[in-house]
Amino acid sequence: MRPTRIVVGENIERYRKELGMSITQLAAKMGMNATQIDRYENAETNMGIDKLDEFACCLKVKTIDLVEDWED
């Protein structure tokens, strides 16, 4: 079982790319800078449930989709 923050980071990146969205574009929607988004995608930063929900909303997915480990 992989750490949740790694799974979430990979899923954020995956869904962002599926939408054709750059890190800069996602950062703007989230009210953050691109470096912060990069840290989340690379599992360098933990996040709370509120931030997870915000990512899900911006990426147009359910929150559970961000924690689903697609490698299992």
Q: What CATH code is carried by the domain that includes residue 15?
A: 1.10.260.40
Query: By 3-state DSSP, what share of the chain in percent is helix, strand and coil, each rounded to 5?
Result: 65, 0, 35
Q: Is residue 63 part of a domain?
A: yes
Calculate what percentage of the chain has a pLDDT beyond 70: 99
39 belongs to a structural domain:
yes
Query: pTM to 2 decimals?
Result: 0.94
pLDDT band at residue 1 using 50, 70 and 90 as cut-offs? confident
Instruction: Quote the number of domains for the chain.
Output: 1
DSSP 20-67: T--HHHHHHHHTS-HHHHHHHHTT-S---HHHHHHHHHHHTS-HHHHH
Per the domain annotation, does 14 fall within a domain?
Answer: yes
Residue 72 lies in a domain: no
Q: What's the mean per-residue pLDDT of the chain?
A: 96
**Alpha carbon distances (Å) from 28 to 1, 40, 41:** 32, 15, 15
In a domain, 38, yes or no: yes
Q: Is the pLDDT of residue 15 over 80?
A: yes
What is the mean predicted confidence (pLDDT) over 17-44?
98
Task: Compute φ and ψ for 29, nearest 5 degrees.
Answer: -65, -30
Mean of pLDDT values over 47-64: 97
